[in-house]
Chain A
Amino acid sequence: MADAAIEVEGLTKRFGDVVALEGIDFSVPARSVFGLLGPNGAGKTTAIRILATVLEPDGGRVAVLGHDVVAEPDAVRRRIGLAGQFAAVDPNLTGRENLRLIGLLTQMETSAIPPRAAELLERFDLSDAADRPARTYSGGMRRRLDVAAALVPRPPVLFLDEPTTGLDLHSRNGLWDMINELVADGTTVLLTTQYLEEADRLAERVAVIDHGLVIANDTPSVLKAQLGSTVAELGFEDATIAEQARALLTGRYPGVEREGTMVRLSSNEGPRLLVDVLRELDGAQLAPATLAVHEPSLDDVFLALTGRHAEEVGAGEVLAGEESAAAGGRRRRRGAA
């Protein structure tokens, strides 16, 4: 288990003046799932594009199954599958023709392609739609076809860039099951996600990326233990009352912090904690006006790791692609410094 399928050392990438990756390091053990967690514009997609030989790095070293992405790109390409953020299938080809095209272009034995395509269509619940053009597919079906396309040549290393974004619950769970099966069969999976829950469900290890730097690299349980498994947000009438509540609770309960009229607590014993906290606040005549309880999110991880919120870039910038998204993140970084 000690052998690394993917090794990344000091990886840097800039687009003009914009630094997308400032030097990231991580290593992915073979036959495991590794998660890159971070907000839009953090550099996740840039990293995946470099690992998949779509972009060239500016500095550092990246090896996939021992092959350097710059020196031996074709050796890397014969060993990887990539499913992107935007379903990259040809809308004019049928599902079956899309998979056949990928089979041809990945240099598969011609006779092996039709049975492999049929197997994947069946497995991804696309058999009934196999001979319809992909442009007639729903968003979820396209996404499944996109992932199926990445799997056609049975790649030992699979890159999934936000694979479940925009999927309904049923499709998402199906894809999660599929990823677990692939890893059981010996595949190494690197996935990016904005959802802590997804990283927690799938990945044995998670690197949290922020502004092109790895700010944490650990197992999901360790990351979550820093936070507590439940986050409670108590809203108060005004900041003065909120400050009184914070002063009352600080030191006696874990992870207490105030932000404006909001007091936030995180704990591994959520329900018990809440009963105690509410009783205490009520006794002090500081009953909260609103109450929200949730699982820790990416934002909570960021708050815990960096002391600030995960910085979302504007919706328009997200769609304009990683380059401008990275630019947005970088600008804010300078502003914050």
Chain B
Amino acid sequence: MSVDVATEIVRERSLPVRAVRDGLAITGRNLIAYRRVPQLLVFSTIQPVIFVLMFRYVFGEAIQVPGPIHYVDFLMPGIFVQTVVFGAIATAIGLATDMKTGLMERFRSLPMARSAVLAGRTLADLTRNVFVVLLMVAVGFLVGFRIHTDVLGLVGGILLLLLFGYAMSWIFATIGLVVGDPETAQAAAFPMLAPLVFASSLFVPVARMPGWLQPWADHQPVSVTANAVRYLTLGDTPLGHASDVWQALAWCAAILLVFAPIAVRRYRHAV
């Protein structure tokens, strides 16, 4: 009797084929969790909706935006960016949970592509972002947000948001693998994100911030991406220029180039 691999049901597949198949299998598995535990999705959309209502109707009247732009048109691109940035925390929590439950250990004992766990996690979170961003655009229209450019500008803005969210996912993939515990990942995320999300042009024009804060608030990736989305949806205004789009793309590329290798390296050594 043969004691070797049961060849009749296990196939040898090349690495590229495995990378795609296994990555999609893990993506599907992560998406099932969003479908089966809808709270994960509901809570990640309630928070940005509250921000919309709060800034649109409570603080909005007190905030002055330069030029003829209405505050809601300034606000919504900021809300979109905030949504994908906070959404990236889910990547950290998902990976940390898999480490804690021992699933990661099982994955590492399987003849699957090494890339699949990270690819499948980030792709699932990208898919979720498509849903969340479209929902927030709809919420924006309901509270009076209007596009001053055209549909192409809106589509371009959404694609840029998804790319930025995807890049942020790789930062949080690294964090999730380093801390290895979902509660710690959640707790670590907020203090890291606060300077990016609040010391930014998301809700308030940078020009009204103290002088020492302005260089940071002007050039950090979250502001640049919000300004780029403003350019794409509102046209060339003091709030956003074409150069912001190129800078935002450069930030996404830089984040991916730095954090994807770190996350992959970390995954190889994580159990």
Interface residues of A (CB under 8 A from B): 3, 5, 30-31, 49, 52-55, 65, 74, 77-80, 82, 84-93, 97, 101-102, 104-109, 112, 116, 133, 149, 153-156, 186, 188
B112 at the interface (CB under 8 A from A): yes
Contacts of B4 in A (CB 8 A): 65, 79, 156
Q: Are A112 and B9 in contact (CB under 8 A)?
A: yes
Q: What 0/1 pattern do residues 117 to 140 of B give for CB contact below 8 A with A?
A: 000000000000000000000000
- Name the one of A77, A90, A156 contacting B109, with C-beta atoms under 8 angstroms: A77
Q: How far, in whole Å, are A112 and B11 apart by their CA atoms in the complex?
A: 11
Interface residues of B (CB under 8 A from A): 1-6, 9-13, 18, 21-22, 25-26, 29, 32-33, 36-37, 101-103, 105-112, 116, 271
Q: Which of B3, B106, B108, B110 has the most CB of A within 10 A?
A: B110
User: Given A65-B3, A104-B25, A105-B112, are A92 and B33 also a contact pair (CB < 8 Å)?
Assistant: yes
Contacts of B11 in A (CB 8 A): 107-109
Q: Which of B10, B13, B33 has the most CB of A within 10 A?
A: B10
Nearest to A77 among chain B residues (CB) is: B111
Q: How far, in whole Å, are A105 and B107 apart by their CA atoms in the complex?
A: 8
Q: Are A156 and B18 in contact (CB under 8 A)?
A: no
Q: How far, in whole Å, are A202 and B136 apart by their CA atoms in the complex?
A: 59
Q: How far, in whole Å, are A31 and B4 apart by their CA atoms in the complex?
A: 11
Contacts of B103 in A (CB 8 A): 88-90
Q: How far, in whole Å, are A78 and B108 apart by their CA atoms in the complex?
A: 12
Contacts of B107 in A (CB 8 A): 105
- Name the one of A101, A105, A154 contacting B9, with C-beta atoms under 8 angstroms: A154
Q: How far, in whole Å, are A116 and B110 apart by their CA atoms in the complex?
A: 17
Q: How far, in whole Å, are A49 and B108 apart by their CA atoms in the complex?
A: 10
Q: Are A107 and B111 in contact (CB under 8 A)?
A: yes
Q: Are B3 and A30 in contact (CB under 8 A)?
A: yes
Q: How far, in whole Å, are A135 and B232 apart by their CA atoms in the complex?
A: 44
Q: Are B106 and A84 in contact (CB under 8 A)?
A: yes
- Name the one of A78, A88, A97 contacting B105, with C-beta atoms under 8 angstroms: A88
Closest CB in chain B relative to A162 CB, distance in Å: 12
A-B contacts, 7 of them at CB < 8 A, read A78-B111, A90-B29, A105-B25, A107-B18, A109-B11, A156-B5, A156-B6
Nearest to A80 among chain B residues (CB) is: B109
- Name the one of A31, A55, A86, A104 contacting B102, with C-beta atoms under 8 angstroms: A86
Q: How far, in whole Å, are A116 and B22 apart by their CA atoms in the complex?
A: 19
User: Given A84-B106, A86-B101, are A104 and B3 also a contact pair (CB < 8 Å)?
Assistant: no
Nearest to A156 among chain B residues (CB) is: B3
Closest CB in chain B relative to A22 CB, distance in Å: 21
Q: How far, in whole Å, are A186 and B3 apart by their CA atoms in the complex?
A: 6
Known: A74-B111, A88-B103. 12 other contacts (CB 8 A): A65-B3, A78-B111, A82-B105, A92-B32, A107-B10, A107-B13, A109-B11, A154-B6, A156-B3, A186-B1, A186-B2, A188-B3
